[in-house]
Amino acid sequence: MKKIYIEKQGTCTRVAVKKEDELKAILIQEEDREPHIGEIYKGIVKNIINANNSAFIDIGTEKNCYMHLQDSNENKIKKGDHVIVEVVREAIGDKGPRVTTEISIQGSYCVLTTFNNRINFSKKIEDVEFKRNIIKGIKKHKSFGVIIRSKAIDVTVEDMNKEIEYLYNIYLKVIKDGTYTLKPKLLYSSRGIINRVLREYVDDTSAEIITNNKEYYDYMLDYMINRELLSTKLTLYDKTENLFSYYEIEKSLVHLRNNKISLPSGGNIVIDKTEAMYVVDVNTAQNIRHESMRKAVLNTNLEAAEEIVKQIKLRNLAGIIIIDFVDMHMAQDREAIINAVEKGFSDEGNKTKIYPFTPLGLLQITRKRVGKDIYSYLEEECKECNGEGKRLRLSYIEFLIKNLIYKIQEQCKGDTIYIEIDEKYKKSISEDILSFIKEIDALDKRVYLQYTNNSELFKVEPLLFISQLKKLESCKVYEGILKE
């Protein structure tokens, strides 16, 4: 059974997808003023750079976005022109988001497109008779095209026609608003991460969705009633403890920072991030169970292929991914690995391309970027090592500590808290201890804090005995107004 956990904390929404109790996907979206993929904006062309055939466009956000002119369905575009554009790639570092004038609006079964007026099918749809029936029965306007998604296989042509009309009305409103608006602004957003979850992970199979946000709950309930998704159970979570912590997803999330992952037979994979790409190294390590070296190598590589696909999805890795499998000399073995990787990506909507092995035995994958990778959410530059290393974000540590304090309070009503935290956070915390106390929601508590060099990032415990308080007196950093 599929279970989907949707948690909103402040400006951050996190989604975890489990199937048969195994974590399959983690999606994270932080509310900000930055454009996100699929959003449509009214923009004004600020500059044309002929040297690289691109235009820079003001869409009302901090950074101007850029557009390759071949992505424009306009014959001529010049400085000062008003354009309606869709975000196809989010901002990365100093590089602004990429946009196109070729608009597409996604539904669950169909995608409305303006870059042609044809009916196209997902590559995953191979049934010729199904395609023939769709082409006969589909109703669309001549001015746009429709892409039939793989999920459409399970619904009727009437369902698709209803959705196409719905998407077309959205498109008409976008064009109308964009035409009469003089300033750059957001014209359309498909509610970002929630609509993506509904499109990609919710269908008529048995599933359960648990969310802590009433607005999301109401929106999804309306969606499921309209789509008659009667087999999906929707639950509103109302406990004090954070949802991800309660369902033990938080631990799995933190483990995704580990770059070394063990394989069942004793081998391992190591994932490293560079400026330009992700690099994955496969090692046989202690895998010596098979008498035949060829079998041992193939077995390790097949295990690695499965795990690499899983980790790419969980960590939301995108762009160029280079995999250095253990050397294989037989073409049929390399083909088996490519087949395993392709099979692993066959069930997701993201655009992923697998290239043949290079002469040096490397496998290259390119994957469309949708949102940020897990490292961008979890990590920050380490202030204790002059920016040369990474550490778990202090804001995330504070978030985890806060939830542990909530749990302690429920269990023993403790108002005196002892915290151990890695020394790499000492400078950041000590410079503004009051902000730290606020972030962990401990203004009404007595807080004892000690910095350590142990491998654990932090530890939180209640102090219940006078002997403990005397022993740790020098560690007291905050004396709150305790509740009677």
Convert 12-51 into a string of H (helix), E (strand) and C (coil): EEEEEEEECCEEEEEEEEECCCCCCCCCEEEEEEEEEEHH
Spatial CB neighbours of 238, under 8 Å, sequence gap ≥ 6: 212
Dig out the tokens for 450 from the structure: 């000690």
Question: Residue 1 to residues 22, 153, 205, 208, 233: CA-CA distances in angstroms?
Answer: 10, 21, 9, 8, 11
Q: Residues 19-62: pLDDT tens digits?
A: 888 998 888 887 767 788 889 999 999 999 888 888 999 999 88
Contact indicator for 286, 278 with CB cutoff of 8 Å: no
Query: Tell me: the pLDDT tens digits for 420-445?
Result: 998 889 999 999 999 999 999 999 89
CATH class of the domain whose range is 392-479 = alpha beta
Model pLDDT, residue 386: 59
Residue 330: in which H helix or E strand, if any?
none
What are the structure tokens assigned to 445, written together? 């508590």
Cα 411 to Cα 397: distance, rounded to the nearest angstrom: 21
Tell me the pLDDT tens digit for each residue of 350-399.
678 999 999 989 999 999 877 778 888 888 887 666 555 788 889 889 98
Q: Is the pLDDT at 263 greater than 60, yes or no?
A: yes
Amino acid symbol at 237:
Y
Nearest to 352 by CA among 364, 367, 332: 367
Q: What pLDDT, on the 0 to 100 scale, is given for residue 388?
A: 56
| CATH architecture entry for 40-102 | Beta Barrel (2.40)
Which CATH number describes the domain made up of 1-36+204-252?
A: 3.30.420
Q: Does residue 257 register a pLDDT over 60?
A: yes
* Assigned CATH class of 256-367: alpha beta
The pTM score is 0.73
Q: Where in the chain is the domain with CATH 3.40.1260?
A: 392-479
Domain with CATH 3.40.630 in the chain: 256-367
484 pLDDT exceeds 60? no
Nearest to 396 by CA among 419, 375, 373, 372: 375
Residue with tokens 């073995």: 333
3 state DSSP class of 57: strand
Tell whether the model's pLDDT for residue 140 goes beyond 90: no
pLDDT of residue 86: 93
Which residue in this structure is represented by tokens 């010049």? 78
The pLDDT assigned to 286 comes to 60
Q: Using one digit for the tens of pLDDT, what is the confidence trace for 458-478?
A: 889 998 888 888 888 889 888
C-alpha distances (whole Å) from 40 to each of 26, 214, 364 are 25, 26, 32
Q: Give bridge partners of residue 297 from the DSSP assignment.
A: none
**pLDDT confidence of residue 260:** 93
Q: Contact at 8 Å (CB) between 305 and 341?
A: yes
